[in-house]
Structure 1
């Protein structure tokens, strides 16, 4: 139960523990001389979060009081919680995950970046919440496009699929692949219907692609990410590749996409020929 006594006691202990570890100086407050207990006082947390000291005291005592999403966000900021602690706070208080925190600038998760080189000769890349390509290994750039030779605003899977003529040549069943990609994107975009970055991308695609405009109006949704693709690469010919999508706990909105062929097959041999044509790796692009 989201508001059970056990959950309220756990929430009270968590808040108290986070409060006691945060010094006044770290919170931007004067120390106020000697303190009998470490960390912030309850009334200081209340002031920082913009709530009543009495209400916050009740919350930390485990009483039956309810905290809105806005108040929980204010408490998370005031107590300087990291992403994992913020999620824990919401789970204790509401029994559900918090709204997604959208970063101003999205960078590849450091835990994912080293994997890209280790996966060679298999093509692999990392996409962000809007399906922008954040990093790619050498075969991942050779298989489709050199993502980092494109302007920063065009390093996007949807833009490549619907606006780059090379995508229609590379994917043998372009229509089927484009429709499936769009249905998966629609499922992901449902979490960001008010995100200006998504609104801008969708508007751009509507203007640039009649197929996108027609299919977007169908509201098709698909959640399966793994499968096979038949591709035709101008340098190495036709291949049937399996692709799978992996997530990390630290950055769940980022996806590691890997393409591979059955070991010892002709397709696996062809993948091996992607590397010599790509040249030395760029550490900034992985």
Structure 2
């Protein structure tokens, strides 16, 4: 076993540990008829999760401690049900434990026809993003209405880095904390699904070193998938600009998406 594989396995076990601990703390014991009194920490106890999921306390404790143990999919699904996991969070947990049967590589080359399509979407903002949120290409509308990626160092042309490292961008995002948490939770889900974890770990290491806010939110272990949603961006005149956004998978380059913004009327 290589050193990199050993490190990756250890990191995966730590992710399982922290994810389960955080999710367990979020569950109201009263949902299952347990008293909320006399608890040192919020949420369910380990033995209560084990009881509800029909697994042994020792086995669940070892799983939550990040040990290498034999695990069945059915047991993991029962645990997810007890912890009230969303579909995205359940998939994330299963990917952490079992790996991804259909990993998405991070391709380097962007087809010319995709670039032409993104350009043609102008005056609507659009850009191309890798699974680790590196920005590969953008049109003029995205450059003027969202951010001028050309002014950033190549290594900082990343949605997650922009969210946490750019004070100027932060002031332009309505409800920044919610937007940051959504972006981070989508990044975490893509990280678990990728077969090129080093591309994500480079981003994580940089942000851990440079952003206190990232360090705080990273420890929440939120997980979600980003397919579409709403975002409000404040322009330089202080006016809110409301958009809906959609992510489109590029079939010939798995792991890359076109992100398309459509202006919408504010209420």
TM-score bucket of the superposed structures, by smaller chain: 0.5 to 0.7
1:149-183: per-residue Cα shift (whole Å, max 9, x none)? 21111111111000000121110110100000000
1:191 Cα deviation after fit: 2.3
Tell me, which stretches of 5 or more residues in structure 1 are unaligned? 1-95, 268-286
Structure 1 residues 118 and 266: alpha-carbon distance in aligned structure 2, compared to 1, 3 A threshold: farther
Where do 1:2-151 residues align within 5 Å?
A: 99-103=103-107, 106-151=108-153
1:102 Cα deviation after fit: 4.8
1:192 Cα deviation after fit: 3.4
- Alpha-carbon distance in structure 1 between the residues aligned to 2:219 and 2:168: 25
1:199 Cα deviation after fit: 1.3
Tell me the SS of whatever aligns to 1:170: coil
Structure 1 residues 139 and 107: alpha-carbon distance in aligned structure 2, compared to 1, 3 A threshold: same
1:26-81: per-residue Cα shift (whole Å, max 9, x none)? xxxxxxxxxxxxxxxxxxxxxxxxxxxxxxxxxxxxxxxxxxxxxxxxxxxxxxxx
Structure 1 residues 99 and 150: alpha-carbon distance in aligned structure 2, compared to 1, 3 A threshold: same
1:193 Cα deviation after fit: 7.2
Tell me, which stretches of 5 or more residues in structure 2 are unaligned? 1-99
- Alpha-carbon distance in structure 1 between the residues aligned to 2:210 and 2:195: 20
Please tell me whether residue 261 in structure 1 is matched to residue 266 in structure 2.
Answer: no
Where do 1:184-203 residues align within 5 Å?
A: 184-192=186-194, 195-203=197-205
- Alpha-carbon distance in structure 2 between the residues aligned to 1:216 and 1:145: 24
Tell me the SS of whatever aligns to 1:112: helix
What is the aligned length? 168
Task: Note the aligned Cα RMSD (angstroms).
Answer: 2.3
| Larger of the two Rg values belongs to structure | 1
Q: Is the 8 A contact 1:129 1:253 kept in 2?
A: yes
1:240 to 233, 239, 242: 242
- Alpha-carbon distance in structure 2 between the residues aligned to 1:240 and 1:218: 28
1:100 Cα deviation after fit: 4.6
Tell me the SS of whatever aligns to 1:245: strand
- Alpha-carbon distance in structure 1 between the residues aligned to 2:102 and 2:217: 31
Tell me the SS of whatever aligns to 2:223: coil
Structure 1 residues 226 and 266: alpha-carbon distance in aligned structure 2, compared to 1, 3 A threshold: closer
1:116 Cα deviation after fit: 1.3
